Amino acid sequence: MRAFTRGLLGIAGFLVLWELLGRSPLLPADALPPPSVVFGELVTQLTSPEFISHVVATVLALLIAIVIAIAIAVPSGLVLGSIPAVRHATRAVIEFLRPIPSVALIPLALVMLGFGPETKITLAVYAALWPILFNTIYALDELDPLLVDTARVFGTGRLGVLFLVALPSALPFVLTGIRLAATTALIVMVSVELMAGSQIGLGYFIMEARSGPGRMDQVLVGTVVAGAIGVLLNNGLERVRRRWVAW
């Protein structure tokens, strides 16, 4: 409870600072609308079907990207983590691909995939793959050999060991990987919407609000909502982990 109270105090302090900065003569007028204005605009926007459709578009694309990333990264991680030969063979390629920022791939993705939602989903998948892949491989390295021996003694074959022992024992690490991946995917998703591709989504809404009417209050509404999505995803996944993989 104390931690919760402190958290609230921190947020209150942040809002006061923001309010003061927004109203101070140091910044150009309307460059940083204070929270009182932004939250008023937020309430208005939340009842606007157009804004809601932007939010839904981003969230939906994000969820699709996360699911695809899991579907690719977890099986790949299991293969790489349990067959050393494959891991050594792919190491160089992975070491090269991993540090490439997803945003640097936007032009390439636009040419290859066009301006539809495929582009932002693909790039978000690319960014989300790595934390899940590496956490899965790491989890297999940490697999207790005694659990494997136990399963083998009771007549469990290679596949059985993979699905009944390696996978469940990797689950906590995989879930942590997914939580990190979700945050990364959100950043990439909104960035791609901001910069190019896509005629819909939160990033697009922010861009339009700035370049069209120059409504900084709407820009900040978009920013606040993007942040809220990130917090919800993060806490939701953390809660799933605590509820279902509490060991």
Please select the residue that binds another protein; options are 68, 113, 147, 224, rule is CB under 8 A.
147
Rounded to an integer, what distance in angstroms lies between the CA atom of residue 148 and that of residue 160? Answer: 10
Our finding on whether 142 is near another protein (CB under 8 A) is: no
Q: Which stretch binds another protein (CB under 8 A): 55-63, 133-141, 144-152, 182-190?
A: 144-152
Rounded to an integer, what distance in angstroms lies between the CA atom of residue 227 and that of residue 183? Answer: 10
Rounded to an integer, what distance in angstroms lies between the CA atom of residue 191 and that of residue 179? Answer: 19
Please select the residue that binds another protein; options are 75, 168, 214, 236, rule is CB under 8 A.
168
CB of 164 to another protein, least distance (A): 8
Our finding on whether 150 is near another protein (CB under 8 A) is: yes
Place of tokens 């659990």: 147
Our finding on whether 153 is near another protein (CB under 8 A) is: yes
Radius of gyration of the chain (CA): 22
CB of 172 to another protein, least distance (A): 9
Our finding on whether 96 is near another protein (CB under 8 A) is: no
Rounded to an integer, what distance in angstroms lies between the CA atom of residue 220 and that of residue 225? Answer: 8
CB of 176 to another protein, least distance (A): 15
Dihedral of alpha carbons 80, 84, 86, 90, sign: positive
